[in-house]
Amino acid sequence: MSNTIFQSFIIFPTKNVNMRAMKREGIPENTTVKVTTSSKCVRILTPEFLLSTSPTKESILTGYFKVEGIHPCDAASIWVNYDGLPTAEAFVSVVQSKFKTIEIPNGFAFEREFYQIKEGKKKGLILRAAYPSVVDDDTLVEAFSDCEDIVILKPQARLIHVPNTNYSEAQIVIQGRKLGIKGNIF
């Protein structure tokens, strides 16, 4: 008898599906698990994956595989199998993603107006630009800081269009060097 799980996910992009299993005798770490489907509305992108000990709980084995939705459907079966254990079955419904629109001031702005960063720590800032009115599919940008104690570790980044949206995103990585410093990134 199989273990059955129900899950819905959006067609695009791909979906990582996490698998958890209790550690038992006869299930060694780094065990190869196989993933299959007979449905035409999903594609298994990772037909095999390895189970490894969970970083948070010693008694749990974890792993993941990638699935891509091809077209909408109410129920598609995905089977996960390891020799000697019952097959785990997941029913997934594939739904059409909706177009996401956000307002970007002046067509080019960071995700947030203000960021806080701890001394000596790194932080990724999300830069957004209106697509396609301001940027193309793949646009190189360079960031600058007006403060020598706010260092841009990754000043060049590519604005990549986020599918099913009206914007592109890039990540700018900074590091705060001194406590209480304020500055601008542009």
pLDDT tens across 105-150, in order? 889 999 998 988 888 888 889 999 999 888 887 889 999 999 999 9
Q: What is the mean pLDDT of the chain?
A: 84
CB-based contact 77:91 (threshold 8 Å):
yes
Whether the predicted pLDDT of 1 surpasses 50:
no
C-alpha distances (whole Å) from 170 to each of 56, 142, 144, 167, 186 are 31, 10, 14, 10, 13
At 4, is the pLDDT very low, low, confident or very high (cuts 50, 70, 90)?
Answer: low
CA atoms in the 13 A half-sphere facing the CB of 64: 8
Instruction: Choose one of 95, 122, 157: the last residue of a domain.
Output: 95
CB-based contact 144:161 (threshold 8 Å):
no
Whether the predicted pLDDT of 83 surpasses 80:
no
- Give the range of the structural domain holding residue 165, as residue numbers without chain letter: 105-176
Q: Indicate whether 31 and 87 sit together in one domain.
A: yes
CB-based contact 176:113 (threshold 8 Å):
no
What pLDDT is stored for residue 142 in this prediction?
Answer: 93
Residue 65 is encoded by which pair of tokens? 């595989």
Q: Indicate whether 85 and 150 sit together in one domain.
A: no
What pLDDT is stored for residue 144 in this prediction?
Answer: 92
Q: Is position 55 within any domain?
A: yes
Query: How many domains does the chain fold into?
Result: 2
Q: What are phi and psi of 107, to 5 degrees?
A: 80, 0
